[in-house]
Amino acid sequence: MSRSRLPLPAFHPADAGAAAETLPEWDLSALYASPDDPAIERDIDAAAKAASDLAGRAKGKLEALLKGPEGAAAFAALIADYEKLQDLLGKVMSYAGLLYSGDTTDPQRMKFYGDVQEKITAISSGLLFFELEINRIDDGLIEAGFADPALAHYRPWLTDIRLDKPYQLEDRVEELFHEKSITAYSAWNRLFDETIAGLRFPVDGEELAIEPTLHLLQEADPAKRKAAAEALGKVFGDNIGIFARITNTLAKDKEISDRWRGFKDIADSRHLANRVEREVVDALVEAVQAAYPRLSHRYYQLKARWMGGETMPYWDRNAPLPGAVTRQVPWVEAKATVLDAYGRFSPRMADIARRFFDEQWIDAPVRPGKSPGAFAHPTVPSAHPYVLLNYLGRTRDVMTLAHELGHGVHQVLAGRQGALMAPTPLTLAETASVFGEMLTFQSLLRSAATPAEKRTLLASKIEDMLNTVVRQIAFYSFERKVHAARREGELTADRINEAWLSVQGESLGPAITFGPGYETFWAYIPHFIHSPFYVYAYAFGDCLVNSLYAVFETAEAGFQDKYFAMLEAGGTKHHKELLQPFGLDASDPAFWQMGLSVIERMIGELEALDAEIARQR
């Protein structure tokens, strides 16, 4: 499942006007009618038969087939069959995953998800040979085959998977790794999800799930923020042993896999999956860390003064500013705001996004057991994406809607590349989402009626950008510390807590004070569990979009066409190829400075606006 945003604080649903609305729930019937739909078993059986048939025709025969009389055309036909099979398997697994995310505490959904996962894993184990065997074919033979248009269609995919060639193991070992995944990292992922969903946090006499508790951290009432923070710290602390066990196990599991495959750096497997060079990521990390004083330290010192002191407790980091102009945003208004912003950029973009509302591709309400945060799931090209939100009616929720719909638009456009080439590396997967968010923010800013309202919007956007860039690079640094230390032996919870506080202090600066309990806040971050080292993709995407939006603001006609061509490419092009039409290059250190300077400039604008408001008083 393609996860997007971390759970971000907003507010308590009991106080929300938005909670009284009837919010949309998704209709999964484009996949299957229900968990009891006979089509599920039929498709699983059909997939098993097709996988067995493909293995019979192809296993141990690919190179000979490519050299044979039908050559590249026959080889391309096999790839096309493999692609159809991947789409079918993905359809079944997508349905199980989406159904499970709607209530991760429901025993029936848990069982259904686990059973489907086991069946799909068993089938896909029999298909592992296909890509492994392709990577044993001589490069020259495959290159010659591209003269045939049918095989040339799959050039990006073949080029892409052959990047994995130095790290692949013999077939039986790959099969073992794959089959044991359901009792290894996948099982620990499920344990994490179910543990988090089952936790309850006592706040002011109520027992709250994690999502509404996190939302309280942006309440206007400081007592509520403090109570929520202390409840989070206490419950995380009471359960820190299990979170430490999950973290230790998954870090060791990754180390074993990396060692067998020959990866040198602890994040190299993620860089490879993202199709981005380690040097590019290192340049991003260094640029952001060097900018901490100019960005997060500067902003939080400013905010601390607004909050009435030289420092502020960690639970005030995402608090509303004193006197902030805030209001509830009904769902119908959120929808109109995002579609209008998208439409101003391109009617085509708004038309695609509108389908998510009209055809019930969005699940918006907060429900007990529902996955926290938000994501857009591409499912498979033969169906369509779905968006999960926990909508509570603040401006930040509107921005999250814009963010996830950006993912959805991207996934719809990339779907034409087919099941093998539609998926986009994580570093580029955030491009459309952050761009859609920026379009929506700029639209809201233009419509701000007063300097005070503009100040509120600007501060909120800066905080989101700091959460996306500075905080995610700090998360990446934390993961590096944990995974590096785990190679030396098992880590105590205290050791993990120390690593967390270290990177938080470095990144957030001296204006934020950390009280007892905050040392455990690493425990709820799902990306550490589901996708190690995923988090730098957020910073990559945000800085990329900042640079891209700067080009858009001064671009002549034709920008939109280039933008849609970039999204439609899916995973068929490297970041250098995708950015070249815009005159951008992520391998250039100046590229990251350009993106970071946008945040720095916005902080300067906020300071100037604040001074203007003070003069008017």
State the first-to-last Cα distance of the chain, in angstroms, to the nearest integer: 51
Of 374-378, 496-500, 590-594, give the lowest mean pLDDT range: 590-594
**Residue pLDDT, tens place only, 69-92:** 888 999 999 999 999 999 999 999
Q: What is the DSSP letter of 388?
A: E
Least confident of 62-71, 317-326, 479-488, 522-531: 317-326
Residue 17 has pLDDT above 70, yes or no: no
Mean pLDDT of 289-311: 96
**pLDDT tens readout for residues 326-341:** 778 999 999 999 999 9
Q: Is residue 521 in some structural domain?
A: yes
Looking only at the bridges linking them, the beta strands covering 362-363 and 386-388 are parallel
- In the block, residue with structure tokens 């785990």: 486
pLDDT in tens, 25-41: 999 999 999 999 999 99
Whether the predicted pLDDT of 8 surpasses 50: no
Coil/strand/helix, residue 220: coil
Under DSSP, the state recorded for 370 is P
CB-based contact 573:529 (threshold 8 Å): no
Token digits for 469? Answer: 């860039």
Question: Does residue 105 share a domain with residue 6?
Answer: no
pLDDT for the residue 522 = 98
SS3 323: coil
| Average pLDDT across the chain, whole number | 92
Same domain for 598 and 484: yes
Based on the fold, state whether residues 460 and 435 are members of the same structural domain. Answer: yes
Classify 132 as helix, strand or coil.
helix
Task: Print the domain residue range for 211.
Answer: 1-25+197-617
CA angle 222, 226, 227 (to 5 degrees): 115
Tell me the CATH number at 218. Answer: 1.10.1370.30
Taking Cα atoms as reference points, which of 564, 570, 579 lies closest to residue 348? 564
Same-domain status, 478 and 497: yes
Beta bridge partners of 3: 375
Confidence class for position 610, pLDDT limits 50, 70, 90 = confident
Q: How many domains does the chain have?
A: 2
Instruction: Give 590's pLDDT tier (boundaries 50, 70, 90).
Output: confident
Per-residue model confidence as pLDDT tens digits over 409-463: 999 999 999 999 999 988 888 899 999 999 999 999 998 888 888 888 899 899 9
CB 353 within 8 A of CB 435: no
Quote the tokens at residue 614: 């003070």
Q: Which of 99-108, 323-332, 545-554 has the lowest average pLDDT?
A: 323-332
Per-residue pLDDT band for 19 (boundaries 50, 70, 90) equals very low
- Output the pTM of the full model: 0.83
What pLDDT is attached to residue 615? Answer: 80
pLDDT at 279: 94
387's enclosing H/E stretch is strand 386-388
> At which of 183, 208, 239 does a domain end?
183
What's the confidence (pLDDT) of residue 158? 96
**pLDDT band, very low/low/confident/very high, at 179 (cuts 50, 70, 90):** confident
547 close to 595: Cβ distance less than 8 angstroms:
yes
Quickly tell me which residue has 């209530």 as its tokens.
103
**Confidence band (pLDDT; 50, 70, 90) for 356?**
very high
Q: Give the contacts of 242 (CB within 8 A, at least 6 positions apart).
A: 191, 195
The answer on 7 and 139 residing in a single domain is no
Do 166 and 202 share a domain, yes or no?
A: no
Domain boundary, last residue among 183, 217, 241: 183
Together in a domain, 440 and 528: yes
pLDDT of amino acid 20:
58
279 three-class SS: helix
What percentage of the chain exceeds 70 in pLDDT? 96
User: Quick check: 210 and 192 in contact, CB under 8 A?
Assistant: no
Residue 183 contacts by C-beta under 8 Å, 6 or more apart in sequence? none
Same domain, 254 and 276: yes
Q: How confident is the model at residue 510 (pLDDT cuts 50, 70, 90)?
A: very high
Q: What mean pLDDT do residues 191-199 have?
A: 93
The CATH number assigned to the domain holding 53 equals 1.20.140.70
* 388 phi/psi in degrees, rounded to 5: -110, 130
Please report whether residue 237 resides in a domain: yes
Q: Is residue 533 part of a domain?
A: yes
